[in-house]
Amino acid sequence: MLKTIESLGDLTGKRVIVRADLNVPLDGTTITDDGRIRAALPTLTRLKDAGARVVVISHLGRPKGTREEKYSLQPVAARLGELLGQDIAFATDTVGASAREAVEGLVDGGVAVLENLRFAAGETSKDADERRAFAEGLAALGDAFVSDGFGVVHRKQASVYELAELLPAAAGELVNAEVEALRKVTDDPERPFVVVLGGAKIADKLGVIENLLTKADRLLIGGGMAYTFLKAQGLEVGTSLLDEERVDTVRQYLETAEQNGVELVLPVDTVVAAEFSNDAEPTVVASNSIPADQEGMDIGPETAKLFGEKIADAATVFWNGPMGVFEFPTFAKGTESVARSLADAEGYTVIGGGDSAAAVRTLGFDENAFSHISTGGGASLELIEGKELPGIAILEEDHA
């Protein structure tokens, strides 16, 4: 069990540091998807209503320990203020004079946002002492800590792990909801349990596949990773994405699936094109007839129909990774079809963050059509893989 906000006691007048995941996509200073900001609202609202003085910390992008204006959290703080309906104090640093001034100026129910954590090298340092020194600077600004950035709980970073050691700590509403939803999938899923995996890189999902071959009833493989599976069956994949080094491993997975009675379903047809472009002419071919000079860009209509049938009677469905190059409208139909199949399914449906969550929003689906949409692609995959997540383990009630 995770320690909850209730365990922190009366929060009136207390400075509560909230590690959120506000790593939203930006076009210049314009936020193109505010889903992660909205996901932080339940915890922030609860703390505000409890009279806490809320200090929000987060990263944005991947600055390398130095300030980069394009990764400033200022536009995010502005959007958060709009959503909360109140003025937000913004600090131009993390543990310096501006942060201290912003925190000291808070009243009960007030909110401050500190600048991007990753502008400080100590946040992501591989040196535990450096991380701890930075965490101590953050801890000096608060009386309690709430971890609510699920997208980073698989990282041993100063604001995720060491800060939770230094202050009374608890899981926020989002982290609790994420862990509960994903454990419902991993620990004892209702059956049939169907997993849909896509995306470009098979290397990112090897551990997940290995674990699921002992748990899932059906494994549907699409996206760029499918071509390594097709190659492992001895098929021509043209110029499609291919991980040559993993072909033998994937061949073993095919054998293991058969031995374990797991139905492993691969694309039966593929949308191919001569070049990687939205304007490229799409052609549908059987998956065993991909031309040598063509690249697979999406699952074909027969595969979309097949995947829909395999999802329809599922009691539990977990989906991670698009079925094709969904950023190009010409090649988004497979991803859209799988999303619609999940939306229509009567079972418990979980979308495992990352590009899958982005695709659902980009394609205009009602988020309420799914049981749970994770905010953390990497974190959700590692939980599904069965790994211990540092930022979760530190919040367990029995953590020493």
Binding residues: 21-23, 36, 59-62, 118, 155, 205, 296, 327, 353-356
The annotated binding site for ATP is made up of 205, 296, 327, 353-356
Does 386 qualify as catalytic in the annotation? no
- Centroid of chain to Cα 123: 20
> How many beta carbons lie within 10 A of that of residue 128, not counting itself?
12
Strands 283-286 and 269-273: antiparallel
Q: Which residues contact 170 (CB under 8 A, 6 or more apart)?
A: 2, 3, 4, 5, 6, 7, 8, 144, 145, 146, 147, 395
The 8-class DSSP code of residue 123 comes to G
d(CA 281, CA 279): 6
d(CA 327, CA 308): 21
Does 131 qualify as catalytic in the annotation? no
d(CA 102, CA 104): 6
Does 354 qualify as catalytic in the annotation? yes
* Coarse DSSP helix, strand, coil percentages of the chain, rounded to the nearest 5 percent: 45, 15, 40
The annotated binding site for (2R)-3-phosphoglycerate is made up of 36, 118, 155
d(CA 99, CA 102): 5
The annotated binding site for substrate is made up of 21-23, 36, 59-62, 118, 155
d(CA 383, CA 300): 30
d(CA 283, CA 63): 40
> How many beta carbons lie within 10 A of that of residue 12, not counting itself?
11
Token readout for 298 is 């999406």
- Identify the active-site residue in 224, 300, 354, 376: 354
**Strand residues in the chain grouped as ranges (E):** 15-19, 26-27, 30-31, 53-57, 89-90, 111-113, 144-147, 169-171, 193-197, 218-221, 263-265, 269-273, 283-286, 295-299, 316-320, 348-351, 372-373
- Identify the active-site residue in 14, 15, 19, 36: 36
- In three-state form (DSSP H/G/I as H, E/B as E, the rest C), the secondary structure along 237-270 is CCCCCCCHHHHHHHHHHHHHHHHHCCEEECCCEE
Does 122 qualify as catalytic in the annotation? no
- Identify the active-site residue in 201, 251, 361, 387: 201
Residue with the two structure tokens 């139909």: 333
- CA-nearest of 195, 228, 207, 397 to 316 is 195
Residues taking part in catalysis: 36, 201, 354, 378
